[in-house]
A and B are shown apart, each in its own frame.
Chain A
Amino acid sequence: DGGITQSPKYLFRKEGQNVTLSCEQNLNHDAMYWYRQDPGQGLRLIYYSQIVNDFQKGDIAEGYSVSREKKESFPLTVTSAQKNPTAFYLCASSMIDSYNYGYTFGSGTRLTVV
């Protein structure tokens, strides 16, 4: 079955460490996105990519980095520069050639800094 997979589901990080969250899709979608969600809040866009080897900053890109070397994969690195990284991270993908296409979301990664 086609879908979008995030791993791991739970991640613990020590302060000062970088950590990478995985996102893989087999939907043949062009675009991929990373969102952050804090408790009781909506989703905030971190980075997005509409084509391989290209990506753009979203609203809260500081302290994060991404790469898009393959169409299927869009990993997110949370760097030590991110002041408050504890949050729920969601990856999504979509086609981009039509208004009618919505997003397909993964099941999320919950990151906790210990």
Chain B
Amino acid sequence: DAKTTQPTSMDCAEGRAANLPCNHSTISGNEYVYWYRQIHSQGPQYIIHGLKNNETNEMASLIITEDRKSSTLILPHATLRDTAVYYCIVRVNYGQNFVFGPGTRLSVLP
């Protein structure tokens, strides 16, 4: 079973920030939070990952709460090309595999 809970779908206006939440209340101390996205009929694409601290790269920012039980992926200026399914994944154990749940379907609207 997936270790995370995400909303099924979200809408965001083009040019605005998209904030995608994820709950992972059972995360253990040495597990990372990963975010991937999948544009229709393509393979998932890595976005960002983090352990405790907030992280930022050229694609997005990841905000992890202090208790690590939830996180938010932020796309600062969403474009139509950001329309995709976004997966929040907690790495189960070292050497174990990623478990992809149904994710959040983000629709960026013009």
Chain A residues near B (Cβ < 8 Å) = 6, 33, 35, 40-45, 48, 50, 58, 88, 90, 92, 96, 99-100, 102-108, 110
Chain A residues with CB under 8 A of B49: 100, 102
| CB proximity of B9 to chain A, nearest CB, Å | 11
Chain B residues near A (Cβ < 8 Å) = 2, 30, 32, 34, 36, 41-46, 49, 87, 91, 94-95, 97-103
The tally of CB-CB contacts under 8 A between chains A and B is 50
Q: List 5 A-B contacts (CB under 8 A).
A: A99-B32, A100-B32, A104-B46, A105-B43, A106-B43
Other A-B pairs, 17, CB within 8 Å; known A6-B43, A99-B91? A42-B2, A42-B102, A43-B44, A44-B100, A45-B99, A58-B97, A99-B30, A99-B32, A100-B49, A103-B44, A103-B98, A105-B43, A105-B44, A106-B43, A107-B42, A108-B41, A108-B42
Chain B residues with CB under 8 A of A99: 30, 32, 91, 94
